[in-house]
Amino acid sequence: MHTNLKESKMKKSLLATIIAGTIFNAAYALEPAGINMDNGVTITPLLNVGTKHDDNIFSKANEEKSSAIVTVAPSVNFLLDDGINQYNFNMGITSGTYLSSSDDNFVDGFLGFNSHIEPSSQNRFDFEIGANWVTEPRGTGITEGLGDDVTEPLTYTDQTIAATYEYGALSTAARIAFDVKYFNKGYTNFEATTQFRDFDSIKLGSTFFYNTGAATDLFIEVNRDAIEYDNVETGSVSRSSDDYRALAGVKWEATALTTGSIKLGYQKKDFEADARTNFSGLSWEAGVQWQPLSYSTLSFDTSRAARDPNTEGNYINETLYSVNWSHSWNEKLSSTLGASFTDEDYSGVTRNDDTKTYSASVNYSFARWMDISVFADVTSKDSTRDGIMFDKNIVGMNFTVAM
């Protein structure tokens, strides 16, 4: 449970968030023009430079350490679009410098390619391939609850290859899509511990769509995700499993004032090892946007599913709710306010976590090619497990520059 001191700390941070939003009241309005090449490719470079203050960089329950963090993130996008077919290539890096904890400095990067191809009105293909080099901050992921007990952040790489084929003209009542996705994650330091969280997965699925004729699709989605962990910890059993899902839903666009998608169904998670408890139960995903005015949007998202834990237990039955309000005050000023709640119920151990996050961002667009934004995030995590609960408050400013 939180103490009165922690509650007071949250209230002060929320007050600071509200004041910042009142003063600036802005959001993202950048409109990069890009460089048009003779071969039809548009090149769009971006540069984001930011600074923020984190009052609990190791996500600890007590003896928190704070630091200012400076980030520099250049990126570039290459786009070829003929109006029907589209090809995208993205690359970028992000460097972070902790002014009070140099051991946590990092350089992350990403490469990604995706395409949308329509050889005819009845056939559509989507392809994706990507790779990420990621730093996992101390006190998160595998080191959750350990704070600065580890000497440096963990690092990992992941790779994704995915493809979708959809058959059926958009003007017809019925369509069907087939999906395949390969994902791999491997840690690159502290191998003695992290090797037991390296895994890959192959996901196969299919979705049947029925168009009601009112900008609305009814659909049935089924998929199977085969998750295979590379190594088994001594004295433990395999974490590998097969994850099956069958969901029915509705997706609509620009119906009255709302756009959204809702799907509800059944999930079954079968572990390779008999010693682990399998999961079967309700699963859902929903996202709805309500736009009562052209310059104001309210978004609501929720999901429920069993997922693999980073640390202990067989699986986590996770339920998420979030709401966001975006408002444009004029052509240059807009703002976003958000709140989310996550409930994590662990299987195999006695543990339940609740996480509340409140956020605000405001943006001022100096010109088509430059934005400045200020933001604040307040996170409070409770847990029945000792050492997991923490409070974290982040305030910062970003400058984004485009061509």
User: Residue 256 is which amino acid?
Assistant: A
pLDDT at position 253 is: 86
Q: Which of 50, 236, 71, 48 is nearest to 137 (CA)?
A: 71
Q: How far is CA 323 from CA 10, 272, 318, 356, in A?
A: 19, 37, 17, 12
Per-10-residue mean pLDDT for the chain, 403 residues long? 42 38 43 80 95 97 96 97 94 98 97 97 97 97 93 97 96 96 97 95 98 90 97 93 98 84 98 96 97 94 97 96 97 96 97 98 92 97 94 97 84
pLDDT at position 289 is: 95
Residues spanned by the domain of 119:
4-402
Q: 287 pairs with which residues across the strands? A: 261, 301
Long-range contacts of 125-129 (CB under 8 A, 24+ apart): 125/163, 125/164, 125/165, 125/166, 126/162, 126/163, 126/164, 126/166, 127/162, 127/163, 128/160, 128/161, 128/162, 128/163, 129/160, 129/161, 129/162
pLDDT at position 199 is: 97
| CA 364/CA 342 separation, integer angstroms | 31
- CATH code, 30: 2.40.160
Positive or negative, the Cα torsion across 8, 12, 17, 21? positive
- The residue whose two tokens read 């009070």 is 100
For residue 5, report the phi and psi dihedrals to the nearest 5 degrees.
Answer: -65, -40
Per the structure, the count of domains in the chain is 1
pLDDT at position 36 is: 85
pLDDT at position 29 is: 56
pLDDT at position 39 is: 83
